A and B are shown apart, each in its own frame.
Chain A
Amino acid sequence: MHKLLDISSIKEHLFDGMTIMVGGFMCVGTPEVLIEAIMQSNVQDLTIICNDAGFENRGVGKLIKNNQVSHLIASHIGLNPYAGKQMSAEHMTVTLVPQGTLAEQIRAQGHGLGGILTPTGVGTIVEENKEVLKVNNKRYLLETALHADLAIIEAYQTDQYGNVIYTKTTRNFNPIMAMAADKTIAFSREMVDTLDPECIITPHIFIDYVVKAGL
Chain B
Amino acid sequence: MDRQEMKTFIAKRVAKELTNGDVVNLGIGLPTLVANYIPDAMTIYLQSENGLIGLGPKPESTNSDPDISNAGGEPVTLKPGGMYFDSALSFGIIRGGHVDVTVLGSLQVDETGSLANWIIPGKMVPGMGGAMDLVTGAKKVIIAMTHTNKGKPKILKKCTLPLTAKYQVDMVITEMGVMTVDNTGIHLVEYNPEFSLEQIQAATDATLLINNPKKMVVN
Interface residue ranges, A against B (CB under 8 Å):
25-29, 51-52, 74-79, 84, 87, 94, 96, 98-104, 106-107, 118-126, 166-176, 201
Contacts and interface: CB of A to CB of B under 8 A. Distances in A.
Interface stretch (B79-87, B101-109, B169-177, B180-188): B79-87
B136 to A, nearest CB: 5
Most buried by A among B73, B78, B95, B132: B132
B133 A120 contact: yes
Contacts of A175: 86
A28 B95 CA distance: 23
A100 B91 contact: yes
Contacts of B90: 100, 103, 172
A25 B50 contact: yes
A25 B88 contact: no
Nearest to B49: A99
Given A28-B50, A76-B126, A76-B129, A176 B95 contact: no
21 contacts: A26-B50, A26-B73, A28-B69, A75-B128, A76-B128, A77-B127, A78-B127, A94-B125, A96-B125, A96-B127, A99-B91, A99-B130, A100-B95, A100-B132, A119-B95, A121-B136, A123-B163, A168-B78, A169-B84, A172-B50, A172-B87
Contacts of A84: 125
B51 interface: yes
A197 to B, nearest CB: 19
The 10 closest A-B pairs by CB, nearest first: A78-B126, A100-B91, A100-B133, A26-B73, A123-B166, A76-B127, A98-B132, A168-B67, A99-B130, A103-B87
B52 A169 contact: yes
Contact of B88 (A76, A166, A176): A176
Nearest to A28: B69
B95 A168 contact: no
Q: Residue among B66, B114, B130, B162 with the most chain A CB within 10 A?
A: B130
Contacts, number: 140
Contact of A171 (B49, B86, B162): B86
A87 B69 contact: no
A79 B73 CA distance: 10
Interface string B149-169: 000000000000011111100
B198 to A, nearest CB: 34
Nearest to B127: A76
B194 interface: no
Contacts of B71: 25
B189 interface: no
B133 A77 contact: no
Contact of B132 (A26, A52, A94, A126): A126
Contacts of B88: 103-104, 106-107, 176
Contact of B87 (A25, A27, A76, A125): A25
A169 B50 contact: yes
B129 A176 contact: no
Contacts of A74: 127
Given A76-B129, A173-B86, A124 B67 contact: no
B68 interface: yes
B94 interface: yes
A98 B84 CA distance: 21
Given A25-B51, A103-B90, 8 more contacts: A27-B73, A28-B66, A77-B126, A98-B128, A98-B130, A99-B129, A123-B163, A123-B166
A125 to B, nearest CB: 5
A124 B86 contact: no
Given A74-B127, A169-B67, A124 B73 contact: no
Nearest to B95: A100
Contacts of B132: 98, 100-101, 120-121, 124, 126
A126 to B, nearest CB: 7
